[in-house]
């Protein structure tokens, strides 16, 4: 798979076909099950990293820490 610049100048202005081509996928057919499994193994699941949530009170009090 080609390297893709994940920080393009104007993401909202990028044509969907250009993105699909850069990612090496046919938008009409999508990925085969084998290719999807390969990419999952290589890049991991498409999910945000979990983190500890800070309450509103904690955020407020943090502003007064020295």
In the predicted model, is pLDDT for residue 63 greater than 80?
Answer: yes
- pLDDT tens string 4-52: 666 656 667 788 888 888 889 999 999 999 999 999 999 999 888 888 8
Task: Tell me what pLDDT residue 53 has.
Answer: 86
Cα(36)–Cα(30) distance, integer angstroms: 9
Inter-residue contact 35 to 41 (CB < 8 Å) = no
How many CB atoms lie under 10 A from the CB of residue 55? Answer: 8
pTM above 0.75, yes or no: no
Q: Which residues pair with 26 in a beta bridge?
A: 30
Tokens of 38: 């390969």
Does an H or E element contain 61, and which? Answer: helix 56-62
In a 3-state reduction of DSSP, which class is residue 15? coil
């Amino acid at each position: 798979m080609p390297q893709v610049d994940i920080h393009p100048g104007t993401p909202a202005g990028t044509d969907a076909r250009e993105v699909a081509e850069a990612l090496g996928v046919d938008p009409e057919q999508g990925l085969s099950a084998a290719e999807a499994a390969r990419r999952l193994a290589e890049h991991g699941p498409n999910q945000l990293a979990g983190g500890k949530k800070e309450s509103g009170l904690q955020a407020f009090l943090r502003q007064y820490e020295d």
